[in-house]
Every structure is written in structure tokens, then in C-alpha cells.
Homo-oligomer: A and B are copies of this chain.
């Protein structure tokens, strides 16, 4: 059993390493957890003692199999709670993160398995992120964004890269929600903004930044 703090470090290492799939630097962890590098060093020693990470001085940290399992389980809990909050307690997708950040540390296998069943074994959370299964298997989708589409091509929104509440509220306002069909009508070379058509209804122009943060599943042309 490990403390909230240890769990947060493991989760941080996991999310930072999947991005690069190798050892994570002290500074990167410190930034992620808004703490100081010296605090991180202390904790890395402790996690290494517990065989939850591989750690060598100045070489950064990498999760062991055991550490990875714990990290994935916390993410599983985080995302299942987010589904609960949105689907049953009327939270908006920009409001769930902080509460889920607390709920993810509740320790009860029975609780989380029952919640999973209650929610009907969801595959994705409200942001389109995959929910690891009980055994810790995670389905990673391919991370194609609207930026990867050419004029005339279309796709369905399946997730968001950035989770900032402001971005989520922007999307909600523009009715760019998960499941929405998008067709690229025009790309403005000047600033790489993109004119799109949604679900055969509205046309709108989105910035390059927005386009890069909208994950889609590419549709076959017809």
C-alpha cells in the first residue's frame, strides 16, 4: 500500500513516460507536480527502495512492472469516476478533473469493480481517453488530429489532447463534442486556421492550435 503522494508520483511518471517511452527526468516530474526538484529526488529514492521505479542518480526514473500496474490502476479509477460524474451526476466535462483527482485515491477493489459494472464497462472517459481494464490493459488510439486532415477529408471527434477547462468550454460552445463529424473545407495558409463543416450543419473556422488538440478518427471518403 502506498500514500496519496506516492500514487501521484507514480501517475506522473507514467503519463510523462508514455509520451517518450523512456526514463523521466527529475525536473519534468517536479514541474508536473508543481513541486521542487529536491523533493522529487527524495521521493524517487523512496520509490526505488519500494521497487516501484528503476532509478539511478542523474539518470531519471522509469516505472517497474509493479509501479506501472499501480499507475494504470489509478488512471482507471480516475477515468471511471469521471464517467460517473458526467453521466450520472450532471457534471460538465470541464468540471470533473479536480474531483476525480481526489476520488482516484480511494482504495477498494470491490468499489471500483462495482462502479465499472454500474457504468456498463465504459471504454472511454468523457474526454475520449481510454479506460484501462481490470488487468491493466490500455487501448491507445492513434492520435490523429484535425491538423492531419487535407481539404475534403473528414473525421469524427474521438478525443482531446489538451484538457484545460477553458479549451473544453470553447469546444462545448462551438458544439465540437465527441462524436461530431467534421469535414475540412479550406485551410488558410496565412495562419493555418481551418474552415470546417460539422454534422452537415454549421460551418466554422478553428485555429491551428484548436485543430491540433482535437483527436479524430479519419473517415473514408465517399
Contact = CB atoms under 8 A, between A and B. Distances in A.
Nearest to A89: B114
A114 B96 CA distance: 12
B91 A102 contact: no
A110 B99 CA distance: 10
Q: Name A's interface SS.
A: helix
Interface string A99-130: 10011001110110011001000000000000
A89 B106 contact: no
A111 B88 contact: no
Contacts of A83: none
A117 to B, nearest CB: 8
Contact of A99 (B88, B99, B102, B106): B106
A2 interface: no
A95 interface: yes
- Report, as a range, how many residues of chain A touch the other chain: 10 to 19
Contacts of A95: 110
How many identical subunits does the complex contain? 2
A85 interface: yes
Given A95-B110, A110-B95, A89 B118 contact: yes
A94 to B, nearest CB: 13
B110 A102 contact: no
Contacts of A103: 106
B108 A99 contact: yes
B102 A115 contact: no
A90 B99 CA distance: 23
Contacts of A90: 114
Nearest to A99: B108
Contacts of A89: 111, 114-115, 118
A136 B85 CA distance: 24
Nearest to A107: B102
A111 B108 CA distance: 20
Interface of A: 85, 88-91, 95, 98-99, 102-103, 106-108, 110-111, 114-115, 118
